[in-house]
Every structure is written in C-alpha cells, then in structure tokens.
Amino acid sequence: MAAQIQSAIPSKPTLQNVSRDDLREGDVVTLTSVDTHTTYAWTITFAPEDEAGNPSSAVLTASTAQSTDFTVDHEGPYVIRLVVDAGLPTESTQFVRLRYLTKFADLKLIGAGERRDQTAVVPVDASAEGWANDQNWNMQTLQDFIARVSTSGRTFFVDANRGLDSSNTQNDPDIAEANADYSSINSAIVAASNATPSPSETNPYVIKIHPGLYVEDLDLEPHVHLVGLSVSGHKSEEETIVVRTVAKHDADFTNVGDFCLVSGLTFETNFGTTDPVIYKTGLGTLVMDRCSVVVTGSSGTQGAAVYQDKGTFIGRDCLFTNETTDTERVGFYQESDAVDASDSYFERCTFLGPCGVELGTSNLPNGTARFVNCFIESNLNNASSFGLKSSIDSLVMERTEVKCNGITNAVDIHPLGDVHGSNMAVLLLWCRILGDINYDTTGISGTSRLDLGSVVYEAVNITGTLTARTAVIKGDTIYYDNTTSGLTSENVQDAIDELVPALGLTLDLAYDGPGGSGS
C-alpha cells in the first residue's frame, strides 16, 4: 500500500484521494497557496501507523505559513485540514496548491531521477467558513497536474491550443490551470536546452505534449525527451501529431553518451523536399517508442521516413512508412561510415514503402542492425524494389517477416558487390521471407556468412562464394558455405553465441536503467 493525501472538511466526509496513490516513504509533500495575504492554519488530523503500531512522526514545518511541508514516513492515508482567513467575507475565491513528490512512473530513462513534483489546485470558496468546498474541486486539474522532475531535471508541458501573450507568458489563470508552458514543441526544447542545470545523462528534461497539430521543424536535443500525453494516459487517446513544413527534423547528437527518447508522437510530411522526415546524426542514441513516421510526399535522400547517419537508433512499437511510389524511397535508411559505426535495434516495428529498409552502402559497411518481431514490406511490384537491403557488417533478424511484391528481392545482401575490407555476417532465425534471399559476396575480403535457422523463403541465390567455418552439425539450421555444391547444417545456437553479443545493443539497457532519486 502506498501513502496518499486526504482532505478533512467540516461536517462532511473526508475527501478521499486528493493525491495519487503512489507516494512513498521519504517523499516530501508541500502545501502552498497562490495568495500571500490569506492566513492559514494547516493541521495533520490523521497519520498512519507502521506495521509494528508505531505512530507517524510527520510534522508540518510551518503550520501557519503560506507554504509548509512534511515528510511521508509510513504508508497509508494522511488527512490534512486547512483553515483560511482572507480577512474580508467578500474576498474573491482563493486558490490553494497541494504539491507532492511521487515516483516518475511514465518513463524508464537511463540516469533519470524518476520522481516528479505534481501540483493539484484546490479552489477555496469565499464563504465565512473559509473551508475548501469539495464541490469546487476541479478533478481535471488533478489529472492534468503540473510536473517537475526534482533535482534530476524538469518537465515542460506543451499544448498547441495554449493561449499566449507577446512574451510567451501565462497571464490567464485558466491557461495556467491547463498545465501548458508552451504552444510550440521547439520552444520547449530551446527552454530545456538553455536551462540551468544543463540537460545531461543525470539531469534529463522531459517535454510532455498534449494532443494537437504542431506545424514546425524540430531540432531534437540530447537528454531532452519528448513524450506524447496520449501514451501516458493523462489526457486522451488521441494522437499527438507533428507535421513538418519544408525541412527535416534534426537529431544531431555529437557525443557517444548523448541520449534522447521520443515517445507517442506521429511525424508526417506531404512536402516534396530533399530531406528525410527525421535525420539522425552524431554518435549518440535516439530512441523512438510507440511513434509513427509517415512520408506522404516525394522525398529525397533515399526518401526515408528516418535517416540514421551514425551512432545508435532504437525503435520499439513504431511504424515507419513511405507512401510514395518512387523505387528509391524507403521506410528506414541506415547510413554506414568507414570510421564511425552506425547501429540500430528494432522491436515490434513495421516498415512499409516502395522499399522497406536499406542498411548501409556496399563499400562502407561499418554497422550492425537487429530486428525482433518486426514486419517489413515493399509494396511496389518493381524489379528494383526490395524488402530489406543490407551491406553492413552484421545483420540479425528474429521472428521477422519480410515481404516484397517484386519476389526476387525480399532480402538483398551486399547487392552491388563493391570492395570492402571487412567481414559480413547475416543471421536469420524463425523468420518468414516472402521472396528470395540474395547474397553477393563479390568484393568482400573478410568472412562472408549466412545462417538461416527455421526460415521460410522462396529461394537463396548466392553470387560468389561464402567463407567456410568449422561447426558442429545439428538441428534444422541451414548454413551456406563454399565447401559443398549443396547445403550443410549447423548449430543455430553456435551462430547466436557468436553474432548476437557482437551487436552490443539491447532494448532493456535503454529502457530499464537504474532509477534515480529526488527530494
């Protein structure tokens, strides 16, 4: 059982669930008001005992001040009574804010101080009694609380429908209660980037976005995370949609430790530009969770919904789709570099387009990719279209389906046969390939491998020769090499043990890092 705050009202039942039921021992509850002229008398009328029967030692730091607080020391309900005196019986309605720190339950971020400072606004009626009238409670305000991430960062709220004055300041109390700091996502990103302390791995900032239409080009920043409120459930089930105008959304993360999470957003474009929708550069990591990226107009640079230049890209439960008809357009494109690796990891993602996924260029194969429980489809019946094309060092696909209407190019490995001085390994486990698997080993100076474990496919076409390796023959894994004119078998676990750890990418590391603390 967690702790919770309740409100004592004279001659009426105690008001339950003033706070969310997720307070924990050690959380600091702050009681404050928006009016400095009102006098107050705060009282803890009930506090819980622990399992041994020991009473709570929670004490208000200042029982008659405008702002006071106490520390939760036992699980259970804390009943708070407030008496206010505005001085005159005709005084207009006052507002009291109840703020409480709770676990940051919406996100699991590396290094995040997983707590938030929530604010509930309680209207106090102007009667002589001066007590909080339960009929005046705004329950929507309790749902749309203002969040602040204690010492480990801060949360900004964005609402496209938020009214602003010329200085982008909230002057209207109704707007303040709407819990929106900005009407523009980029404005919130800039504010977080320039905040003190600066965003970092141990001090991330979170921007929570209300459902709406945002017509702007985003410049994503490391350690500034974007979360659509339709995902966290605090607003509605509507989608949060971002429509770019004439330029790409940039994600330039220079350093290896740079990290950004984007969750619950839909990115769309129908403009015929030369950019992808999202352009990821730099050595850092971009994670997209429960997002959609849709290209509905002609677009260049492989026409990608997402273009991964270098660093690491992680996608989970996402849709990457290109609705154009050009054979060069793909749902996801991963560049490769002779110096800096480009790595990607996808779980339960869908890729659609004239071409589904393209990974690397044949002569610069420095990179890895892994697909788990994904669906990849080329919807264009054209000889040059493909479901997945890969020229990177290591490709692993597990329980993934690849479909190509062109049949012959469902999975195309190193299709151009360019010279490169690295190894190339492909591992497919429990996959369904609705078309051919093509592998051109020409020009590969290192080891060329293709391991298929329990894979359905039309045909496997090898150009050149695959490099042999010694292995135990076992199971239903098909291994192709240059030692026979036909096929031999090989232990699939042997291939997993060798290839998968080399990727160094797991979604668990990105989403389930250790929680932080706050006060």
- Encoded tokens for 168: 């982008």
**264-469 fold:** Pectate Lyase C-like (2.160.20)
Q: Which of 149-153, 249-253, 274-278, 323-327 has the lowest mean pLDDT?
A: 149-153
Average pLDDT over residues 2-21: 61
Helices and strands of the chain, counted as H and E runs:
6, 40
pLDDT tens track for 39-54: 777 888 888 888 888 8
Nearest one of 53, 106, 378 to 230, comparing CA atoms: 106
How far apart CA 300 and CA 297 sit, in angstroms, is 10
Q: Which of 7-16, 258-267, 439-448 has the lowest mean pLDDT?
A: 7-16
Q: Give pLDDT, residue 392.
A: 85
More confident residue, 89 or 332: 332
- In this prediction, residue 135 has a pLDDT band, given cuts at 50, 70 and 90, of very low
Q: Which residue has the higher pLDDT, 128 or 62?
A: 62
Strand, coil or helix: what is 135? helix
The token pair that represents 372 in the structure block: 């788990």
Average pLDDT, the chain: 68
Strand ranges in 212-348 using DSSP code E only, listed in sequence order = 213-215, 219-220, 224-228, 240-243, 249-252, 259-263, 265-269, 278-281, 285-289, 292-295, 306-308, 311-316, 319-322, 330-334, 342-347
Decide: residue 445, CB within 10 A, 0-12 exposed, 13-18 middle, 19+ buried.
exposed
Q: How sure is the predictor about 346, in pLDDT bands with cuts at 50, 70 and 90?
A: very high
Q: Tell whether the model's pLDDT for residue 10 goes beyond 70.
A: no
Per-residue exposure over 300-317, b if at least 16 CB sit within 10 Å of its own CB, e if not: ebbbbbbbbbbbbbbbbb
Q: Where are the domains of the chain?
A: 5-140, 154-244, 264-469, 475-505
* Distance from C-alpha of 141 to C-alpha of 121, rounded to nearest angstrom: 7
Structure-model confidence comparison of residues 21 and 51, the more confident one: 51
In whole angstroms, what is the distance from residue 134 CA to residue 248 CA?
Answer: 49
pLDDT at 436: 87
Question: Comparing C-alpha atoms, which of 430, 346, 446, 461 is closest to residue 393?
Answer: 446
Asked which of 26-30, 163-167, 420-424 is least confident by mean pLDDT, the reply is 163-167
Which residues, 6+ apart, have CB-to-CB distance to 24 below 8 Å? 2, 3, 72, 75, 102, 103
CA gap 486, 481 in Å, rounded: 9
Provide the 10 A C-beta neighbour count for residue 320: 30
Superfamily for domain range 5-140: Immunoglobulins (2.60.40.10)
The answer, yes or no, to whether residue 361 has pLDDT greater than 90, is: no
Confidence of residue 316 (pLDDT cuts 50, 70, 90): very high
Picking from 66, 100, 102, 101, the residue whose alpha carbon sits closest to that of residue 82 is 66
In this prediction, residue 130 carries a pLDDT of: 30
Q: And the tokens for 420?
A: 């490169």
Average pLDDT over residues 371-400: 85
Whether residue 295 is predicted with pLDDT greater than 60 in this model: the reply is yes
pLDDT at residue 421, as a whole number: 64
